[in-house]
Amino acid sequence: MIIDVHGHYTTAPAALGRWRDAQTAALVDPAQAPDPAGPRIGDDEIRESIETNQLRQMDERGIDLTVFSPRASFMAHHIGDFETSSAWARVCNDLCHRVAALFPERFAPGAMLPQSPGVDPATVIPELERAVNDLGAVAVNVNPDPSGGHWTAPPLTDRSWYPVWEKLVELDVPAMVHVSTSCNPAFHTTGSHYLNADTTAFMQLLQGNLFADFPDLRLVIPHGGGGVPYHWGRFRGLAQALGKPEPEEALLGNVLFDTCVYHQPGIDLLLEVIPHEAVLFASEMIGAVRGVDPRTGHHFDDTRRYVENAGLPDEALRAVEERNARRVYPRLDALLTAQGR
């Protein structure tokens, strides 16, 4: 089967956006506060928003299941404070849970966390536990820059993050390191901020020694690892200069890259440079790049085509498309196993 570890609910019914607008407006005018119970969205609306979008394209592309988390650019942790993010994360995580409940064989829920700039990362733990234990989330997204492009948070190797890593290990859930929208005019959200964050996170991990303290922690770097595989020689050379082991040894047991790279040469490089055990199939569909490539007649983000055209041996292809995900996301594996898959 084909597992896509990186999908977001980018097509949620408009009531979700209105709820968020009201919540944002209430930061200035409390009278505008939305219903704390969340937006009213019927199951039919959810079904339609999925069937006409992600599910349709998953069927066209032969993707069996997607790990489905709240829209990344809408996490916008920089808005308001911890309470703002907390209420917003609950609403968004509930919705992804409902999608998975409506399509249990096609979506497994991922969750966002109620991060807020300058707030102790440990404060996300109650929502993290709720998402995993109550909502069935098989993965969470951790934002290394809740400020939205001002990069005021300490590196992921800082001790302040440790309670989050401890809880992830305890729950046996991987985290995808994924920023949200940029509110810094220097950075385009999906064109530079996302890729920069991926590169930044990897280098933080290379500089540090996090996996000595958390040997069971798994972190997924999305968007093909940002600039990392293309510059693999640079990272190997920097590791050497820092007196670290080869990054393969030091990091790739715990760090994985997804395949959200939207052309054949990029996927070819990723699969040539990074051991197949550390690559997870993903497309981030429907996401940043929605168009059809006029040169191929296919969607830019139809990454399955690139992955299957990369000439991998069958075993490696199966690892990238299914087996690695089942290993790295044990709660997803348990869910699939319970379904007899």
CB of 260 to a copy of itself, least distance (A): 8
**Ramachandran bin of 233, using left for φ above 0, alpha for ψ from -120 to 50, beta for the remaining angles:** alpha
Strands ordered across the beta sheet of 65-70: 3-9, 65-70, 107-111, 139-142, 175-177, 219-221, 255-258, 279-280
For a copy of itself, the closer CB: 80 or 155: 155
CB of 53 to a copy of itself, least distance (A): 16
Within 13 Å of residue 239, how many CA atoms lie on the same side as its CB? Answer: 20
For a copy of itself, the closer CB: 138 or 260: 260
How far apart (Å, rounded) are the C-alpha atoms in residues 335 and 224? Answer: 26
Q: Which residues of the shown chain bind a copy of itself in the complex (CB under 8 A)?
A: 144-145, 149-151, 153-155, 184-188, 190-192, 195-196, 199-200, 202-204, 206-207, 223-224, 226-227, 229-238, 240-241, 261-263, 265-266, 268-269, 272-273, 288-291, 293, 300-301
Catalytic residue among 60, 129, 284, 322: 284
Of 182, 206, 184, the residue nearest 194 (C-alpha): 182
CB of 336 to a copy of itself, least distance (A): 30
Angle between helices 82-102 and 14-25 (to 10 degrees): 170
CB of 148 to a copy of itself, least distance (A): 12
For a copy of itself, the closer CB: 236 or 327: 236
CA atoms 57, 60, 63, 65: torsion sign: positive
For a copy of itself, the closer CB: 32 or 152: 152
CB of 153 to a copy of itself, least distance (A): 7
Of 269, 268, 274, the residue nearest 308 (C-alpha): 268
How far apart (Å, rounded) are the C-alpha atoms in residues 249 and 288? Answer: 32
For a copy of itself, the closer CB: 56 or 234: 234
Is 284 an active-site residue? yes
Tokens 């997804």 belong to 258
Q: Which residues are marked as active site?
A: 284
